[in-house]
Each structure stands twice: as C-alpha cells, then as structure tokens.
C-alpha cells in the first residue's frame, strides 16, 4: 500500500486492541446514507517509475524557453546550494515553529531573514513573510488603515504605474473591509507618476499612497517628492519594491524627509524559481512604531531557563489563533520554505553579489533597448533609465508577435495593450543577468522577423 506501513498482522492486532472487527466499523458514526463507494473519477494508482515518466514528458513539453518576461516574476541564477539545503527534510518536512525548543533552526533562520529584509528596505522590523507580493500589498493597505489614526477615510491611492495584477489583488483581499482604492494616472510620455496628477487629491483625507519603485514599466519614480507629498497630508507611504534593486537604489526607509512607513513586495527574485508563479513569498517591513499593527508571524530573540540565547514566535496577540475575530489578519502560515531558500540565497550573494546581479540586470535591459531601437517597426517608449524592464512600442498588434516568438521558443514579453491602451501596441520586456549577448541578439533578430511578418500580414 502506497505510503502505508501496516502489515496484516499489525491491522489484526490493532483492531483487536480497539475492540472492533473491521476498519469499516470505525466509520460507524457517519450516517450510512452519506457514505460513498470509492472515488471512481480518480485514476488508478501509478508507481513512482510511471509518474516519473509522465511528469518528465510534461516538463519536457513546456521546455526551457528563452525568457524575456519579467512583470513580477524574474529569472535569476539560483546557486546550487540554495535548494540543496532548503529541501533537506529537517526544513522541508517541519511545521510552524510553535514548539520553539524543537524548532530553533527554523526560528533562527527567520530572525536572520527579518534582519536581512529590514536592512535591505532600510526599515526597522520585518515579519516572517506573507503569501506573495500582491497579497502582501493588500495586507499592507489594511495595516495602514490600522496604523494611520489621523485618517478615517480608508482611501488608498494606487498609481497606474503599479503592477495591474497587484492592484486587482489588493482590491480582492482588502476591498471587503471598506477600503477604497483610487487609481491615479501617470505621465504617458515618461512612464512615471506625475505629482500634478496627485494634486487632484491634495485636499482629501487620505490613508496611504502606494509607491512602486522601480515601477511596473521599469521606470524610477521620484520617491522623495512623492513620500514628502503624502506625509505632508498625513497619509502613510507604502513602498512596493523589488528586492534585487535594493542592492543599488535608495531603500524605502530613506525616501524623502521621513522615509516610507511600510515596505512590501515580491521576494521571488531572492532565489525562488519562477515555477509558473508560485510558491513565492511576500515580504513586509515597517517602522518599529507600527510593529503591533503588522500581520503575520514574527520571531524574536530571547533567553532560555539557563540563560542561553534562543528564538521564539512573538507578539502572537496580533494573530488569529489567539485573537480570533480581532486579529490583524486571518493569515496563519508564512511561506516558510521559500524564506529558507531566500535567506540562503542572500547569505551566499551578500551585498556585493546582489549588487552584481542588479547591475547586470540593468545593463542587460539597456542592451535589449539598444538592440530593439534599431529594429524596424519597434521603438522604445520612454527615454532615460530603467531597472530591468522596458516598454517597447510596436507598429503592429502585440499578440501575434508574441505567438511567433513563442514558436521560436522565446517568451518575448508581456502584452500591455489591454491594461495600458494609451500606449498603443506596447510590450513590456525584461532581461535579467541570465541573458548573454548572444541571447539578446537572437531576441532582436526574432523580434525583427516577427514584427515584419505580422506587419506584412496586416498589409
């Protein structure tokens, strides 16, 4: 029997000890009329060899394309040690560290993770992670409502330069509690939030302003001015940041005069594979003064009966298993295993290694922009710097171009035409440090062919 160790003799002895004749008798409290006779719609069992064959075939069918999409999930080199260690059974098959004495490994690791994330974002404290970057933003909005006692409106300003999927998730996660998410337009000529567009809300009671850096279009926002604008109106600042970029660019804690209040984002770039979008992990950090409003698990350092240093879950009075309906969130788990991988990744890379990755990403994207700007029918949407994404404008529809590139085994970017119609036939492309000069040149040639073919069809 798959994964069940019982011998016939075991079963006999156990039934005898219980005092029943059959295993079926143990289900006698379930009303007979409700019982089903097996699950015919589930296929017959397969052995490990056969499932290996099935899964290899499917994985091979999906292949390993040349990927130039970012948009919230990034292909980075992951050092071999990361998942070798993270999938050790002692990490992989442990549970929530409620019994602290039996979970010091996981707890100390989370304390190290909290230290790294707080420092990376330039804020005081971090939690042990959320589900993903988008849901972390929803939770950050709810947290801002709790923390900002000067505001009663529950109004959260979200620029359209924030990831469209993040905007949708924030509304789905937090919208049922009376929050109002207001989308603010951006400067279509340069791809960043315009302070003038914010002025329409200058006299309103605002709970928070969300500032993405770099933004969804790969551009750098004027974070200092935006932060000061929000603080001048007693609105909190929620930073949505890419952790790789923080090796190079100013962390949220240093934005403007006072710094952002809460930072959150997608932790996937820190050693987690793209894997069709999950499991990833969201991170969340904040100033010390808001720590009791933060959702999710938090680990603290303390001492044991003998005075030795040890680690334990703390401030649990915020959480659902203690506070039930009065908890800061219904979140129960963190993304423990992903945090394990990320902590190992950040340890291996260090600040210099992470800066190495970040600079290679910036320069590779700049190179893509350079190559694409000489392709007929392609122009670059915004002049000036970008992190590892850039917007291209095509003189033909994007979807058929992406289809042609897919046929060449190239994931050629994300079609923006539905979410950003004002940009026309816009395509968001990304090149991380994993792309070589040959890869970028191949992408350029394939793009030229695809655009020419699609434009030709149109004529």
Partner 1 sequence: MTEKLIFESSREGRRATAQAPLRQTVDLPDHLRRNTPPLLPQVSELQTVRHFTRLSQMNFSIDTQVYPLGSCTMKYNPRACNTLAMLPGFLARHPLSHVSMGQGFLQTMHELQDMLKEVTGMKGVSLTPMAGAQGEFAGVAMIKAYHDARGDSHRNEILVPDAAHGTNPATAVMCGCKVVEIPTDDQGDVDLDELRKAVGPNTAGIMLTNPSTLGVFERHIEEVRGIVHDAGGLLYYDGANLNAILGKVRPGDMGFDVIHMNLHKTFSTPHGGGGPGSGAVGVGERLLPYMPIPVVGKDGDTYRWLDEKDIPGTIGRLSAFMGNAGVLLRAYIYMRMLGRDGMSRVSEYATLNANYVMVRLRDAGFDLAFPRRRASHEFIVSLKRQSRDLGVSAMDFAKSLLDYGFHAPTTYFPLLVPECLLIEPTETEAKEDLDGFVEAMIAILDESARDPEKVKGAPYTTPVRRLDDVKAARQLDLVFNPASVDA
Minimum distance from CB of 203 to partner 1 (Å)? 28
Q: CA-CA distance, 445 to 451, in Å (whole number)? A: 10
CA neighbor of 231 nearest in space, from 239, 242, 220: 239
Lateral strand order in the sheet of 378-380? 378-380, 389-394, 426-430, 414-415
Q: For residues 27 and 458, which CB has a smaller minimum distance to partner 1 in the complex?
A: 27
Q: Is the peptide bond before 214 cis (omega within 30 degrees of 0)?
A: yes
Q: Is 220 in the site for partner 1 (CB under 8 A)?
A: yes
Task: Specify whether the CB–CB gap between 143 and 267 falls below 8 A.
Answer: no
Choose the stretch contacting partner 1; rule: CB under 8 A; options: 43-51, 203-211, 388-396, 440-448: 43-51
Question: Binders of partner 1 among 268-287, rule CB under 8 A?
Answer: 273-281
Q: CA-CA distance, 295 to 298, in Å (whole number)? A: 9
Q: Is 242 in the site for partner 1 (CB under 8 A)?
A: no
- Residues 198, 238, 247, 416: which binds partner 1 (CB under 8 A)? 247
Q: Is 383 in the site for partner 1 (CB under 8 A)?
A: no
Q: Is 211 in the site for partner 1 (CB under 8 A)?
A: no
Q: For residues 186 and 345, which CB has a smaller minimum distance to partner 1 in the complex?
A: 345
Secondary structure letter of residue 288 according to DSSP: G
Q: For residues 182 and 274, which CB has a smaller minimum distance to partner 1 in the complex?
A: 274
Residues with Cβ within 8 Å of 359's Cβ and at least 6 positions away in sequence, in order, are: 248
Question: Binders of partner 1 among 1-20, rule CB under 8 A?
Answer: 1-6, 10-11, 13-15, 17-20
Task: Specify whether the CB–CB gap between 193 and 186 falls below 8 A.
Answer: yes
Q: CA-CA distance, 220 to 222, in Å (whole number)? A: 7
**Whats the size of the chain, residue-wise?**
459
Question: Binders of partner 1 among 437-456, rule CB under 8 A?
Answer: none
- Residues 327, 452, 453, 455: which binds partner 1 (CB under 8 A)? 327
Secondary structure letter of residue 99 according to DSSP: S
Q: Using CB under 8 A, count the residues that bind partner 1.
A: 203
Question: Binding pattern to partner 1, positions 155-194, x when CB under 8 A?
Answer: --------x-xx-xx-xxx-xxxx----------------
Question: Binders of partner 1 among 139-158, rule CB under 8 A?
Answer: none
Question: Binders of partner 1 among 342-371, rule CB under 8 A?
Answer: 343-344, 346-357, 359-360, 362-363, 366
Q: CA-CA distance, 408 to 107, in Å (whole number)? A: 46
Please spell the DSSP secondary structure of 322-350, one letter per residue.
HHGGGSS-S-----HHHHHHHHHHHHHHH
- Residues 21, 43, 149, 383: which binds partner 1 (CB under 8 A)? 43
Q: For residues 96 and 201, which CB has a smaller minimum distance to partner 1 in the complex?
A: 96
Minimum distance from CB of 122 to partner 1 (Å)? 8
Token digits for 149? Answer: 């006692």
Q: Is 436 in the site for partner 1 (CB under 8 A)?
A: no
Please spell the DSSP secondary structure of 170-218, one letter per residue.
HHHHHGGGT-EEEEE-EETTTTEE-HHHHGGGTTS--SEEEEEES-TTS
Token digits for 301? Answer: 């350092």
Question: Binders of partner 1 among 83-122, rule CB under 8 A?
Answer: 83-97, 99-106, 108-109, 111-112, 114-116, 118-120
Choose the stretch contacting partner 1; rule: CB under 8 A; options: 196-204, 319-327, 371-379, 437-445: 319-327
Question: Binders of partner 1 among 23-42, rule CB under 8 A?
Answer: 23-24, 26-31, 34-36, 38-42
Quick one: angle between helices 133-147 and 164-174, nearest 10? 50
Minimum distance from CB of 200 to partner 1 (Å)? 26
């Amino acid at each position: 029997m798959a994964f069940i160790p019982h011998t016939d003799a075991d079963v006999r002895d156990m039934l005898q000890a219980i005092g029943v004749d059959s295993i079926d008798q143990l289900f006698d409290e379930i009303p007979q009329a409700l019982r089903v006779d097996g699950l015919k719609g589930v296929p017959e069992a397969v052995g490990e060899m056969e499932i290996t064959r099935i899964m290899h075939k499917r994985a091979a069918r999906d292949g390993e394309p040349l990927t130039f999409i970012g948009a919230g999930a990034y292909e980075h080199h992951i050092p071999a040690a990361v998942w070798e260690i993270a999938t050790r059974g002692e990490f992989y098959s442990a549970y929530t560290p409620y019994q602290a004495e039996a979970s010091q490994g996981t707890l100390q690791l989370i304390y190290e993770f909290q230290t790294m994330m707080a420092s990376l974002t330039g804020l005081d404290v971090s939690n042990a992670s959320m589900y993903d970057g988008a849901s972390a933003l929803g939770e950050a909005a709810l947290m801002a409502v709790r923390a900002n006692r000067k505001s009663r409106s529950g109004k959260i300003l979200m620029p359209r330069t924030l990831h469209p999927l993040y905007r949708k998730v924030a509304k789905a996660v937090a919208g049922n509690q009376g929050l109002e998410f207001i989308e603010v337009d951006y400067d279509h000529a340069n791809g960043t939030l315009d302070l003038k567009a914010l002025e329409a809300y200058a006299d309103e009671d605002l709970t928070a302003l969300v500032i993405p850096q770099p933004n969804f279009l790969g551009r750098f926002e004027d974070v200092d001015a935006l932060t000061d604008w929000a603080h001048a109106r007693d609105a909190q600042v929620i930073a949505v940041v890419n952790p790789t970029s923080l090796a190079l660019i100013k962390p949220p804690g240093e934005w403007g005069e006072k710094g952002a209040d809460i930072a959150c984002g997608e932790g996937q770039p820190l050693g987690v594979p793209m894997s069709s979008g999950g499991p990833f992990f969201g991170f969340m950090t904040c100033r010390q003064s808001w720590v009791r409003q933060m959702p999710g698990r938090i680990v603290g350092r303390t001492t044991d009966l003998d005075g030795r240093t040890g680690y334990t879950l703390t401030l649990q009075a915020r959480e659902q298993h203690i506070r039930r309906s009065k908890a800061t969130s219904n979140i129960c788990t963190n993304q423990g295993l992903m945090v394990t991988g990320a902590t190992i990744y950040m340890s291996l890379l260090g600040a210099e290694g992470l800066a190495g990755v970040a600079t290679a990403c910036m320069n590779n994207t700049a190179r893509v922009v350079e190559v694409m700007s000489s392709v007929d029918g392609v122009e670059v949407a915004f002049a000036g710097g970008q992190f590892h994404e850039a917007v291209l404008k095509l003189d033909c529809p994007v979807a058929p171009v992406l289809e042609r590139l897919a046929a060449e085994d190239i994931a050629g970017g994300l079609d923006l035409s539905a979410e950003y119609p004002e940009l026309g036939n816009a395509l968001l492309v990304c090149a991380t440090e994993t792309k070589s000069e040959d890869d970028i040149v191949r992408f350029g040639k394939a793009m030229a062919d695809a655009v020419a073919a699609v434009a030709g069809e149109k004529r």
